[in-house]
Amino acid sequence: MSHDEHKLPFWRKYIFSIDHKVIGIQYGITALLFLLLGFCLMLMMRWQLAFPAKPMPWIGGFFGDALMPGGIMLPEFYNQLGTMHGTIMIFLGVVPLGVGAFGNYFVPLQIGAPDMAFPKLNMMSYWVYFVGGVIMLASFFLPQGAAQSGWTAYPPLSDIAPAGQTWWLFGMVFLITSSLLGSVNFLVTIIQLRADGLSFFRLPFFVWAQFVTSFLLLLAFPPLEAAGVLQLMDRLAGTSFFLPSGLVVSGEILQVSGGGNPLLWQHLFWFLAHPEVYVLILPAMGIVAEIMACNTRKPIYGYKSMVYSVIFLGFMSFIVWAHHMYLVGMSTEMSAFFQVTTMIISIPSVIILTSLMLSLWGGSIRFNTPMLFAIAFLPMFGIGGLTGLPLGLAASDIHLHDTYYVIGHFHYVVAPGTIFALFAGIYYWFPKMTGRKMSEILGKIHFWFSFIFINGVFMPMFSMGLAGVSRRLWDPTQYAHAQPTQPLNVFISISAWCLALSQIPFIINFFGSIFWGEKVDTNPWQATTLEWATPSPPPHGNFETVPTVYRGPYEYSVPGREKDFHPQHESGS
Amino acid sequence: MSDMIRYISKPHPVTGVTNAKLGIWCFLASEVMLFGALFSAYILLRTGATEWPVGADLLNVPLATVNTLILIASSVTIVMSWASLAMKDLSRFRIYMGLTILLACAFLVVKGFEYGAKFEHHHFPNSSTFYAIYYTLTGLHGLHIVGGIVVNLYLLFPGSAMWQTEPERFLGRIECAGLYWHFVDLVWIFLFPVLYLL
């Protein structure tokens, strides 16, 4: 194959490539840039929250009078930033990084396949995602700016919002199509293209996580696509799917046919968006499991129960969606059902987390940078999960709904949880992708400062939420009940800006290590799974000889063996 | 590259299907969720409405019946095209595939007349929730028909060159196109009674 590779012109090899490794890196770079952008939007919002009605230094002048007259952020612009922060972080940042980048690059490698099952579809999936991202970004430059109805786009507000919302919907249609193409590809690849001897219960947990994630993407996204089509019809064809009769806007009754139901959107949206939570978290759990096994030098505790848990989790995630909607006035029977399913779904998450925690016990732990991020994932995700329980019960949710408590809860799951795991994945697999290790010193600086400041950002939000501060306030000082917690807002904002500074070592490390990192051989971490059986970076077609698998994924410290790891592809007992 | 990926033409010994066939089934599963969500929306809107018209009073049932027969016939012809190819008869495959495409176009023409008659009487998507869901569901189904026509045209003309190089893989593609076409047909079989008769 290698002579084939050289014949390809530059644009076929690096831009419109059908090699899953190039596509994975394309996804990774794009998603990291979007993560940075989404983070920057939030940093601007933090100024407004900490120092309302004060001009933003330096940056405020760039945005002109339409968005920030005199450097003071307009409420409309604040809403745009919030909406696009959520949209960008979830649909353009975390999911593409966890699934598009790590999934694309490492699923074929970990199952011993030469590529994904449908390489051209894979390329299309990336470019459709890219177009979706461009549409989202372009919407900022519309006369009335980007979407401002929140990432949940609740009607009737979103139905009557300015044109940015239409662009948001078109962007979402592209992103949904992209993940649909991707999920079909992952499912077929994992089912059909596993190496000889690689039975389902010999799959690394990361592959299992991607497998269940793909099912969620495949089956949960189409209802949002349907909802998006209905909202587009409302906005463009004048239908009233989400507009009730007699809706009053600006003191006048809206002239529409009426008869619609805003709750229909909420049902369709959360039918996607709850499984989406697991789309965010499962790849992260998979990465943590890989790193834990390798750096504790012992098998994952309870591998099989983790696999059964992740399957059960995937199934249950389809029947919990209305726990986001306790306040819409549903009957007590309905709310009882969703409270029960919500409590049940916490069980498999706890099993997975406990298994990972117990995996540490008795291990000879190597505290390298990927392992630090992976260990930090456990308590951070734990806090995120446990603070979710009061939100899953209607009685306490009535108080906490739509407050900063919710923000704190899901950010603990996604930011110090998932994003830390994704950082762990970058540090762990960087040697495989580039042939060079990232700097441990810069990595540890990055870890410790990020760890301290990210808790400084999200921990105080629980107090603010318990005090009843709503999550959507542009100027919290205007509300009497929010004034006592205003010092916390200042503390959070300063932590957030320090968190931004803490990412500088990572950026230097990332680009610097590509050129100056310590060179490594095939298997620098002495790991057992198949991606370490091929050169770093892997050649076109991945494996020089098609690997055969002889054992389970985590055979570390097998008694009686000379080396403390036994790779899956090595024969002999 | 593609010569290294396994199970492109031959089925996997355990799952019993090729990559493409598993892929199209996964895709159809997601399509079921798409139309399932829209049908659920229909149910929710109808049960929440104070009054809901009987479809037969507003829509043209005879035309829709003709269209139902056209689509069922096209499902038969696409199976015949696959069967002809399985018996290594490329010219009969072309006839039946061409017929399938013609029937699909006929469906769209009839649908166009239906839409035209509605527009003439000023029945637009914004007229009522019934018309809104009618246009959305039939419009989305129509888009699926158009997509099927494009794919079938490709397989009939430029795509059929694969028959000379990789006949098994080409036969698999026709089967996948057939599965998709049956699905589009099946959606109509649900749409027809739900919108026109109930």
The Cα–Cα gap between A381 and B173 comes to 45
d(CA A522, CA A431): 9
Q: If phi over 0 gives left and psi between -120 and 50 gives alpha, with beta otherwise, what is residue A384?
A: alpha
Q: Is residue B65 part of a domain?
A: yes
Given A4, A218, A257, which is nearest B129 (Cβ)? A257
Q: CA A310, CA A352: separation in Å to the nearest integer?
A: 8
State the total domains in chain B. Answer: 1
Tens digits of residue pLDDT in B111-136 = 999 999 999 999 999 999 999 999 99
Residue B39 lies in a domain: no
Q: How many CB pairs under 8 A join A and B?
A: 138
Chain B CB within 8 Å of residue A230 CB:
yes
Any domain includes B4: no
DSSP designation for A318: G
Q: Do B4 and A261 touch (CB under 8 A)?
A: no
A 15-34 residues with CB < 8 A to B? 18-19
* ipTM of the predicted assembly exceeds 0.90: yes
Q: What's the domain range around B172?
A: 58-197
The answer to whether A260 and A247 are in contact (CB under 8 A) is no
From A240, which residue of chain B is nearest by alpha-carbon distance? B129
The whole-angstrom separation of Cα B38 and Cα B33 is: 9
| A329 residue type, one letter | G
Residue (of A217, A139, A207, A148) closest to A178 by Cα position: A217
Question: What CATH number does the domain containing B192 carry?
Answer: 1.20.120.80
Distance separating alpha carbons of residues A501 and A227, to the nearest angstrom = 39
**CA–CA min distance A520, chain B (Å):** 27
The answer for A 360-379 residues in CB contact with B (under 8 A) is none
- Residue pair A351/A309 in contact (Cβ under 8 Å)? The answer is yes
Chain A interface disruption, residue of B28, B31, B34, B123, most A CBs within 10 A: B34
Contacts of A307 (CB under 8 A, 6+ apart): A201, A205, A208
Residues A193, A217: Cα–Cα separation, whole Å: 20
Q: Is residue B190 part of a domain?
A: yes
- pLDDT tens, position by position, for chain A (573 residues)? 444 555 778 888 888 999 999 999 999 999 999 999 999 999 999 999 999 989 998 888 888 888 899 889 999 999 999 999 999 999 999 999 999 999 999 999 999 999 999 999 999 999 999 999 999 999 999 999 999 999 999 999 999 999 999 999 999 999 999 999 999 999 999 999 999 999 999 999 999 999 999 999 999 999 999 999 999 999 999 999 999 998 999 899 988 888 899 999 999 999 999 999 999 999 999 999 999 999 999 999 999 999 999 999 999 999 999 999 999 989 999 999 999 999 999 999 999 999 999 999 999 999 999 999 999 999 999 999 999 999 999 999 999 999 999 999 999 999 999 999 999 999 999 999 999 999 999 999 999 999 999 999 999 999 999 999 999 999 999 999 999 999 999 999 999 999 999 999 999 999 999 999 999 999 999 999 999 999 999 998 899 888 999 999 999 999 988 899 999 999 876
Residue B111 lies in a domain: yes
- Non-local (6+) Cβ contacts of A341 within 8 A are A316, A319, A320, A323
Task: Provide the token pair at A420.
Answer: 């830390």
Nearest chain B Cα distance for residue A540, angstroms: 8
pLDDT at A544: 84
Decide if A222 and B132 are in contact by the 8 Å CB cutoff. Answer: no
Determine, for residues B36 and A257 on separate chains, whether the beta-carbon distance falls below 8 Å.
no
What does the buried/exposed string (b/e) look like for A507-535 if buried means 16 or more CB atoms within 10 Å of the residue's CB?
eebbeebeeebeebeebbbebbbbbbbbe
Q: Do B124 and A238 touch (CB under 8 A)?
A: yes
CA quadruple B68, B69, B72, B74: dihedral positive or negative?
A: negative
CA distance A262 to chain B (A): 10
B21 within a domain of the structure (yes/no) = no
* pTM (2 d.p.): 0.95
Name A338's Cβ contacts closer than 8 Å, sequence gap at least 6: A320, A321, A322, A323, A326
Residue B120 lies in a domain: yes
Question: How far, in whole angstroms, is CA B56 from its chain's centroid?
Answer: 23
B31 assigned to some structural domain: no
Q: In order of start, what are the domains of chain A with their CATH numbers?
A: 2-243+259-533 (1.20.210.10)
